[in-house]
Amino acid sequence: MTSALSPSVSARDQAELDQLYKRFAAAHMSPLWTHIGDLMPAIPRPEAVPMVWRWPTLLGLAERAGVLVPVGRGGERRAIALANPGLAGAPYATPTLWAAVQYLGPREKAPAHRHSQTAFRFVIDGEGVWTNVEGDPVAMRRGDLLLTPGMHFHEHHNTTDRAMAWVDGLDIPLVRQIDAGFFEFGPDELGTQATPASSRNERLWGHPGLTPVGAPTPKASPLMAYRWEHTDAALTAQLDLELEGHPGVVEPGHAVVRFTNPATARDCLTTMRCEMHRLRPGTRTAVTRSTGSSVYQIFAGSGVVRIGDERFEVGTGDLFAVPSWAPLGLMSEPGLDAFRYSDEPVFEALGLAHTEREEMA
């Protein structure tokens, strides 16, 4: 073994050094100088790699699981994770973020449970499933973002004769790594099969700019559903205003809305940031890199994404993972909408959030 602290050693000293390293190991100690480069790289050196998962593949295999694998107590969910090939077989899209396709067949129910991991659902297509959060049934439809903050009981039920699939985002890898996971089964009879058009939390919190006085202000959003009609209208208005010459768009042709907690105006979830991006036809974004990782799903349209040194064509439903500090750029000829989530709230809370814009070549 070599050491920066002893550039040249005699044979006798070497034998004594070897002895020292053996004694370190026996005493469960490890010197900094032999792996400082790994522990403290000059810039982030993610093990996760840039990766695209194609929606037709995900959906096809989820449908097959729907035929072969029952959903129920124990396994809890028919959810199939996206496994980043850089992460040694772990079922993680990035070191902090879980992404899965979940599939619920006609009349099926996924049983109630709760956990300290934070979750959301994003619906690329279809409807007919209600996610019941703390006894409040929340309809799930195309383009909607549905939240399940930590330690909220939740179950999903499909009231229709058609199967439905959607994407789950959770902070499972982060919570696992920092040993903060708690999990409990819920009562089997939590299950109201009620299917109200509007959930109670939407009726209380879903009015723009109006905070119900007397309601508590939790850290995670008390509004559990963000409806596509609102998201779409907000993006449309941003791009229309840009065309009319008003400021407020992040860059030309690129509108972004962030899903926020109406009680605090901060991120809707404590550990994950959720956004919807829209690129006008023919738009190319600036190339930027940030600490922290993210996952995107193309909601509509298509384009080309550059992640690090790689370029991928992506179409509707495709998901991709962006490792920490990898340069990211999006371009689209026909225009596109993309849902994005990241671990930025964690990085910001810890003072570890950095972003830079790549200089033009």
Residue 69 Cα to chain centre, angstroms: 25
Which C-beta is closer to ligand GTQ: that of 176 or that of 230?
Answer: 176
Residues that bind ligand GTQ (CB under 6 A): 77, 79, 100, 102, 119, 154, 168, 170
Q: How far is the CB of 49 from ligand GTQ (least distance, A)?
A: 22
Q: End-to-end distance of the chain based on CA atoms, in angstroms?
A: 43
Q: How far is the CB of 136 from ligand GTQ (least distance, A)?
A: 15
Q: How far is the CB of 71 from ligand GTQ (least distance, A)?
A: 10
DSSP code string of 145-173? EEEE-TT--EEEEE-SSS-EEEEEEE-HH
Q: How far is the CB of 300 from ligand GTQ (least distance, A)?
A: 23
Any bridge partners for residue 269, and if so which?
A: none
Which C-beta is closer to ligand GTQ: that of 263 or that of 319?
Answer: 319
Which C-beta is closer to ligand GTQ: that of 154 or that of 340?
Answer: 154
Which C-beta is closer to ligand GTQ: that of 80 or that of 336?
Answer: 80
Which C-beta is closer to ligand GTQ: that of 148 or that of 238?
Answer: 148
Q: How far is the CB of 104 from ligand GTQ (least distance, A)?
A: 10
Distance separating alpha carbons of residues 249 and 300, to the nearest angstrom: 20
Name the residue type at position 151. M
Distance separating alpha carbons of residues 320 and 83, to the nearest angstrom: 11
51: exposed, middle or buried (C-beta count within 10 Å: 0-12, 13-18, 19+)? buried
Which C-beta is closer to ligand GTQ: that of 92 or that of 259?
Answer: 92
Which C-beta is closer to ligand GTQ: that of 136 or that of 242?
Answer: 136
The Cα angle at residue 326 between residues 231 and 332, in degrees rounded to 5: 45
Q: How far is the CB of 255 from ligand GTQ (least distance, A)?
A: 29
Sign of CA dihedral 124, 70, 106, 200: negative
Do 174 and 271 form a contact (C-beta atoms < 8 A)?
Answer: yes
Q: How far is the CB of 21 from ligand GTQ (least distance, A)?
A: 43
Q: How far is the CB of 168 from ligand GTQ (least distance, A)?
A: 3
Distance separating alpha carbons of residues 259 and 342, to the nearest angstrom: 12
Which C-beta is closer to ligand GTQ: that of 91 or that of 308?
Answer: 91
Q: How far is the CB of 297 from ligand GTQ (least distance, A)?
A: 14
Distance separating alpha carbons of residues 77 and 34, to the nearest angstrom: 44
**What token pair was written down for 191?**
């299950």
CA torsion angle for 11, 15, 16, 21 (degrees, to 10)?
130
Q: Phi-psi region for residue 223, left (φ > 0), alpha (ψ -120 to 50) or beta?
A: beta
Q: How far is the CB of 79 from ligand GTQ (least distance, A)?
A: 3
Q: How many CB atoms neighbour CB 233 within 10 A?
A: 12
Which C-beta is closer to ligand GTQ: that of 79 or that of 93?
Answer: 79
Do 140 and 130 form a contact (C-beta atoms < 8 A)?
Answer: yes
Distance separating alpha carbons of residues 361 and 359, to the nearest angstrom: 6
Which C-beta is closer to ligand GTQ: that of 249 or that of 272?
Answer: 272
